[in-house]
Structure 1
Amino acid sequence: MGNHRMALIVLTLALCQFPQPGDAQLQQNYYANTCPNVENIVREVVTKKFKQTFVTVPAVLRLFFHDCFVNGCDASVIVASTADNTAEKDHPDNLSLAGDGFDTVIKAKAAVDAVSQCRNKVSCADILAIATRDVVALSGGPSYEVELGRLDGLSSTAASVTGNLPQPEFNLDQLTAMFGKNGLSQEDMIALSAAHTLGFSHCGKFAKRIYSFSQQSSVDPTLNQSYVVQLQSMCPKVVDSRIAIDMDPITPRTFDNQYYKNLQHGMGLFTSDQVLFTDPRSKPAVNFWAASPSAFQRAFVSAITKLGRVGVKTGSDGNIRQDCAIFN
């Protein structure tokens, strides 16, 4: 009887680890038999690319996020448009995705497929997930075990992007709802928002906050005044649309918890950043992670692992693309 009860407990615990449908086939070391060296091959390519340009880091991280939030983590964001199909990457919300992210995945896929044992065995979606872990670690963030076993999606349309990515002006309820739709909690959302400790934004994405916020105030009152002056000098009213500035003005090249400290000082670049501190429901998490880098890192690893489980394709729902940018 004791053994039977223990077996039931073990089974229950095993089921609890996979709360979302489609998770169960994801596992660490998924390619142990088919392409055992895949993670080293990808890491080598990512490291080389990182040494060429730091943009690789925020570019890959953002690509993973934009991929998973639209039709799940299936590399559909990498597919190129054709004469008869406008793909995800050409939706207005994705036009600012840096080319270095796409380039990293495509180069890593080529390196993996150059090994005869691995050719056409590893999905673009999994390569993007591995590369994401690697750029976080290369920029000073935590390294973590990546769950693998995704297939690449069979469709990519610009229309599917509309309404599925968080916007810079979102409030807490809008952010929580959008992440919730993907099985992510409010805490996961606040942890993943710290990806804004890296990368840059074009001036147009926040110009309203520093020039024409409301009838009562031209500047968003939640912004730090000296930060406003800094932003206005870098982003004058009439600005070249190609100009972009660091999202974290303090440690823009380090994956750290500085993002939360910036929010405490009114230096969140987007409304959707600063609201995490001004809304009393999310403020405690911001304060906690600003004070504890290790707690933040644990929360981030948990959240990005959950993000990697969103809408995973298996069986006949996907395949392994030979070219990440073109359907087989």
Structure 2
Amino acid sequence: MVSFHSLLAPITTLFLAILFNVSNAQLNATFYSTTCPNVSSIVQTVIQQALQSDPRIGASLIRLHFHDCFVDGCDGSILLDNNGTLRSEKDAAPNTNSARGFDVVDNIKTAVENSCPGVVSCADILALAAESAVSLAGGPSWNVLLGRRDSRTANQAGANTSIPSPFESLSNITAKFSAVGLNITDLVALSGAHTFGRAQCRFITNRLYNFSGTGNPDPTLNTTYLATLRQNCPQNGNGSTLNNLDFTTPNTFDNNYFSNLQNNEGLLQSDQELFSTSGAATISIVNTFSSSQTTFFQNFVQSMINMGNISPLTGTNGEIRLDCKKVN
């Protein structure tokens, strides 16, 4: 006769295995509490130094985290350079000549390695850097969930197709967010990161002079704002000239971005469409975030956590890169 205990043993083993896999895949805020307890302050110190000479760096760092997570999850793949077999995501259309801050990531990694060698992943450094960038600019701070590991591969083709573009319709961008498990509240909240940082003229000249091939400017653009942008971005001018994403408080993390949208003063087409797309569910969210910075901050934090949870490598998957630019 089979004993009750012999039946129970494999079930218990199975339950423990499931429990281990679940806990193994979960990121948590205390992941480095014993192995690298000062990691957050190390990251923040390096970014503070970088901000002294480059007020854009915070926005650039959060963009790296965003562009990393949308391609095969938050795995540090955006940081890898080309090698004989690997085609770098840095050369994908959404990143080439616009993604920046890689040198600061390297400086952070060096400082972290000096303190706790071989412990902290580059993917986690991007997540920590994004939080520091926001809090240092006057935005909210939060406990970053950690425990990601670094990929050994990159996906240039995926970067070309998965990362939302400033020229895309709201429906296309919504679909790209949905593909990685993010909803429209996440879309509007994360777009609010455009409350600081800059964008090059080449991303807006079509809105200023030949929107959708009409030969006219984007009709949703506030005419006074249009005139200002045309001064900074003349037709056939320098496409790399910079424009503040939020012209009111360009280096401060606040909710003015949403008020700008209400005034038809969103810089990128993808920004303005959140408010100007007729009947869109995003309009009421823009209005809510514009009327309450606290509500925006709370939603932004949750959406950053949601984004940071996209398909992380954990446990024994991936590696802890010693140099963020190349696999070990």
On whether the aligned pair clears a TM of 0.5, the verdict is yes
AA aligned to 2:108 is A
Q: Is the partner of 2:199 in helix, strand or coil? A: strand
Partner of residue 56, structure 1: 57
Partner of residue 319, structure 1: 319
Distance 1:158 1:22 in 2: 31
Cα 1:159–1:214 shift into 2, 3 Å: closer
Gaps (5+ residues) in structure 1? 1-20
Distance 2:303 2:204 in 1: 26
AA aligned to 2:294 is S
Partner of residue 255, structure 1: 253
**Segment drifting more, 210-219 vs 271-280:** 210-219
Gaps (5+ residues) in structure 2? 1-21
Give the TM-score normalised by the residue count of structure 2.
Answer: 0.89
Partner of residue 272, structure 1: 270
- Compare CA radii of gyration and give the structure with the larger one: 2
Partner of residue 31, structure 1: 32
AA aligned to 2:118 is N
Where in structure 2 are the equivalents of 1:1-328 lying within 5 Å?
A: 24-99=25-100, 101-115=101-115, 118-214=116-212, 218-279=216-277, 280=279, 281-328=281-328
Q: Structure 1 stretches (4+) deviating beyond 6 angstroms?
A: none
AA aligned to 2:127 is A
AA aligned to 1:310 is I
Deviation at 1:199, TM superposition (A): 1.2
Distance 1:297 1:315 in 2: 31
Q: Is the 8 A contact 1:74 1:125 kept in 2?
A: yes
Q: Is the partner of 1:245 in helix, strand or coil? A: strand
Q: Is the 8 A contact 2:139 2:254 kept in 1?
A: yes
Cα 1:22–1:69 shift into 2, 3 Å: farther
Q: Is the partner of 1:318 in helix, strand or coil? A: coil
AA aligned to 2:254 is D
Instruction: Give the number of equivalent residue pairs.
Output: 305
AA aligned to 1:105 is V
Q: Is the 8 A contact 1:63 1:97 kept in 2?
A: no
Cα 1:60–1:215 shift into 2, 3 Å: closer
Distance 1:311 1:22 in 2: 14
Distance 1:26 1:85 in 2: 28
Deviations 1:281-313 (A, max 9, x none): 211111111010000000000000110011101
Report percent identity of matched pairs: 40
Give the TM-score normalised by the residue count of structure 1.
Answer: 0.89
Deviation at 1:216, TM superposition (A): 5.5
Deviation at 1:215, TM superposition (A): 6.2
Q: Is the 8 A contact 2:25 2:314 kept in 1?
A: no
Distance 2:168 2:214 in 1: 20
